Amino acid sequence: LSSKMADRTSFLGPTTPAEIKALLIDKKFPEMDQKIFRQILGYVMEYMQGKDISDEEIAEVQKADTKTPATVPTLFTALYYILRSAIRTKISIDNFQTDLAEIKFPSTFTKDLCQVLQKSRALLEEQSLSTTIHFPSLTSFKWRVDVIVSSSALSRVLQPVILVEATTSDGKVRTFEWPVDKFHEVRYNVAKVLKDMEDLEQLPILKIDK
């Protein structure tokens, strides 16, 4: 890795995805007409905004491409992965350009990708959020501690128990009892996970973009 990438990981991840490798090992790719590249890039942008791209449309581009027709489908897939990863990681334009240079992506085509990302980032981020599956979130969490004075088996118990009422954003209300020993077990596990996450965040490999 270059010195510029020594303290972070490429927006594509620690290893180049197979879908992008397949394009880079295609010796015909650098010879592709820029007009064909831009046409496929346009199709990828439309696809990321929710429009279906038919096999017939890709086939028409292949017919028009006299130099690299076999590369067209591979290019579509690779560009989709590149732009999707860029949007997901919120990579800066400078680091985006650096990371593509690192994998030897042709500089002429990189300029087109940078322009598209810079111009359409907000639109693509909005589309990405609208198509993401969202689970219900916690909107209310109430609790109290009760003490069980006695039971059918024992006349004197004096055992504390936590009563919890949780409301989620889908309107569902869940009420349950939480024995103190289980509460301490969950508290310990949550603290352990938070500590593990803090330790992981210190690893250089997870510093995608600063």
Q: How many CA atoms lie within 13 A of 171 on its CB side?
A: 0
> How many Å apart are CA 154 and CA 80, to the nearest integer?
66
Helix (H) or strand (E) holding 111: helix 107-130
* pLDDT for the residue numbered 208: 46
pLDDT per residue over 9-24, tens digit each?
Answer: 899 988 899 999 999 9
Model's pTM, two decimal places? 0.62
**Sign of the CA dihedral running 76, 79, 83, 84:** positive
Can you give the pLDDT at residue 3?
47
Instruction: Read off the pLDDT of residues 62-82 as tens digits, 9 standing for 90 and up.
Output: 999 988 999 999 999 999 999
Among left, alpha and beta (phi > 0; psi -120 to 50; other), residue 146 is beta
State in Å, rounded, how far the first CA of the chain is from the last one. 17
